[in-house]
Structure formats: structure tokens, C-alpha cells
A and B are shown apart, each in its own frame.
Chain A
Amino acid sequence: EAGVAQSPRYKIIEKRQSVAFWCNPISGHATLYWYQQILGQGPKLLIQFQNNGVVDDSQLPKDRFSAERLKGVDSTLKIQPAKLEDSAVYLCASSLGGGVGNEQFFGPGTRLTVL
């Protein structure tokens, strides 16, 4: 069974530029998550989708971050414009359902460096 795929694996941009990350979850997984992992910290949930609807985006900085999951499969996370403090690893995860206890499977992440 293929795991969660993410691209690109690495991205370096200048501040105020835009960037987009792509995630393809495990086939059949209805729930998709985006996490931000800043160096030295644990992952922090940015947004959770159930199919193509948003379940929780309370920690998403909506003035610069946006995410979509068209057709309830792949998802993209965008930052526009990027700030220095956005340098982090962006992890995508998926689970069969959104109920508590459903195991989340993580992708390898995209490491973003903002100069």
C-alpha cells in the first residue's frame, strides 16, 4: 500500500514570495491533515479536512495561508506572502476517518526555508 506522498521535498524561497505544497493521501482515506513543524518543536495542526470540507482550521494563519482539497483527494497548501518565521517542515497526514483514535499516517514532509 502506497503511503502519503508529498512534493516538493525541499523548497527555498525569498520572503514575500509565494509557495505551494502538494499532498496525495493514502487511497480511501477521507481525512487529511496539514501540520507545521518548526525546528525544535512538535508538529502543530494547521488544518483538517474531512473529504473536501474543513473540520478545523483554527490554527491556520488565514491572512497568508490557504489550503484546499478539491474532489476530496489531493490537497494543496499555499503561503502568500511568505515570512521568515514560516521556515519549517510541512507535514501532511491522512486517516481513514476523522473519529478519535483513527491512526494518522504521515508523509515525509516538505522542508521550507524562507530567506
Chain B
Amino acid sequence: AQSVTQLDSQVPVFEEAPVELRCNYSSSVSVYLFWYVQYPNQGLQLLLKYLSGSTLVKGINGFEAEFNKSQTSFHLRKPSVHISDTAEYFCAVSPPQGGGNKLTFGTGTQLKVEL
């Protein structure tokens, strides 16, 4: 079974500052990793995913994440945030085989960008 831990429930940051949202996972097998964003009253939208290859993954809206197998982490970063990035961010994992594309989500991190 897999699990995801997002230690920070809320992250306040000023506009144009850098931000890192932390995600750690636990799994007895290799996994695929995802970051989703949820804007108020909207469904989840895929930001980026790691399936294989380069451990640095670039996504939409200037976000990127780095897969670190030894630390079982997949932290999300953005060098300069905008007010419009205010949203809830979810990290998720999926088993590479036999899981039927089943996603296991973390509890989410609320990013609040302030002027």
C-alpha cells in the first residue's frame, strides 16, 4: 500500500517570493508521483507528474518538482509566486503496475499568496 504525507497544511508567502511545498511518500514498490492544484469551487487540475526519466519535472504555470528516491520525496517549487497561485495543492501517488491508475492523495497544502 502507498501513502502520502504533506506536512504543511498551510503555507503563507508574499507575492514574487519563492515557495516549496513538501511531499513525502511511503511505498514498498516504486510509484508514479503527481501534483494537482484545486482552485476554490473547482475540480482538481494536474500540475505535473513523474513517471520515469529525469528526476526534475516541469509543469504548468511555472511549477517544477524533483523526485528524490533516497528521501522518498517529491517537493513542489516555484521561484516566484503570483496572487493567482493561491489554491490548495495535493500530492498523489499511483502504483506503476496493477493499480488500475488508482491515485492516493495527501491531505493537501493551502498556499496563500499575499501582497
| B103 with A55: CB separation less than 8 A | no
Q: Which residues from B are CB-within-8-Å of A99?
A: 101
Mark A26-55 against chain B: 1 for CB-CB distance below 8 A, else 0: 000001000000001111110010000001
In the complex, whether A75 has a CB less than 8 A from a CB of chain B is no
Checking B36, B41, B100, B107 against A40 with a beta-carbon cut-off of 8 angstroms, the contacting residue is B107
In the bound complex, do residue B101 and residue A91 qualify as a contact, i.e. CB atoms below 8 Å apart?
no
Are A100 and B95 in contact, with the CB atoms below 8 A? yes
Are B97 and A100 in contact, with the CB atoms below 8 A? yes
**Contact between B102 and A56, CB atoms less than 8 A apart:** yes
State whether B51 touches A101 (Cβ < 8 A).
Answer: yes
Interface segment out of the listed A13-21, A62-70, A76-84, A102-110: A102-110
Q: How far is the CA of A91 from the CA of B100 in the complex (A)?
A: 18
Contact across chains for A100 and B106 when beta carbons are under 8 A apart: no
Contact check, B100 vs A4: say whether CB atoms are below 8 A apart.
no
Which chain B residue lies CB-closest to A45?
A: B102
Q: Would you call A98 an interface residue if the criterion is a C-beta within 8 Å of the partner chain's C-beta atoms?
A: yes
Within 8 Å CB of A97, what residues of B?
101
Minimum C-beta distance from B54 to chain A (A): 16
In the assembled complex, which residues on chain A have CB atoms less than 8 Å from the CB atom of B96? 100
In B89-104, the 8 Å CB interface with A consists of 90, 92, 94-97, 99-104
| A7 CB to nearest B CB, Å | 13
B-chain residues with CB within 8 Å of residue A95 when the two chains form the complex: 101
Distance, CA A95 to CA B46, complexed state (A): 12
Give the nearest-CB partner of A48 in chain B: B100
Judge if B43 is at the interface, Cβ distance under 8 Å. yes
What residues make up the interface of B, taking CB atoms closer than 8 Å to A? Answer: 4, 32, 36, 41-46, 49, 51, 90, 92, 94-97, 99-108
List 29 A-B residue pairs with CB atoms under 8 Å apart, sorted by A's residue number: A4-B43, A40-B107, A41-B108, A42-B4, A42-B90, A42-B92, A42-B105, A42-B107, A43-B103, A43-B105, A45-B102, A45-B103, A48-B100, A48-B101, A48-B102, A95-B101, A97-B101, A99-B101, A100-B32, A100-B95, A100-B96, A100-B101, A101-B51, A101-B94, A103-B46, A103-B49, A106-B45, A108-B42, A108-B43
